[in-house]
Amino acid sequence: MSKRLSLLLLVMGVLAALMLLDRFVLNPPDNNSLAEPVSRAQNRAPGVRSKVQAPAQDFLPKLAQFNDVWGRPLFTPTREPAAIIATPRTQSRATSASDQPPDITIVGVALGPTNSAVLVRENRNTIKRYYTGESIQGWTIDKITAQNVTVSQDAERWQLPVGAQE
């Protein structure tokens, strides 16, 4: 017998032994469901506790709660990018005593435990990320929430809504 054949038979024997060990020792025949794994806690003695505690509730909601989402089409033929309306500025920045909010289009926000970021559309093809305390077009980002972003410049303060401005 060649070395390759004997090595092949040895590997097949080890795999068969592991399969039998799994089927009859780790998952005994009284458990007819092969789809459900047997937890190690079921194989322990009654007085032994596991160090890992199972969570009181599921981490993620059940998929059945998302049936309406699954039913919607992912792409639609009528879907187009948001329209961008260019508005000319008639006043210079120095003379604008501000009845108008700053011309900043906020696309979205990302909220984190230590810092938050805002996504700003610079032009049609460019979106930039800014963090709290950074400056956009001379306006300083003071506060970022899920609904709006507060910016300030000198004594002026504005809350800009999240999402494309109409």
Span 90-120, pLDDT tens digits: 554 554 456 778 888 898 898 888 888 999 8
CA distance 163 to 46: 57
Residue 52 in tokens: 């890992």
Domains parsed from the chain with CATH numbers: 1-46 (no CATH), 105-161 (2.30.30)
> Given this model, what pLDDT does residue 40 score?
52
Q: Rounded to 5 degrees, what are φ and ψ at 127?
A: -125, 130
Return the closest-CA partner of residue 111 out of 149, 145, 159, 147: 145
Span 8-47, pLDDT tens digits: 999 999 999 998 888 887 776 665 545 555 555 555 555 5
Residue 135 in tokens: 């400056």
Q: Residue 160 forms beta bridges with which residues?
A: 149
Q: Percent of the chain, pLDDT > 90?
A: 19
Contact 10, 3 (CB under 8 A): no
> Given this model, what pLDDT does residue 7 score?
93
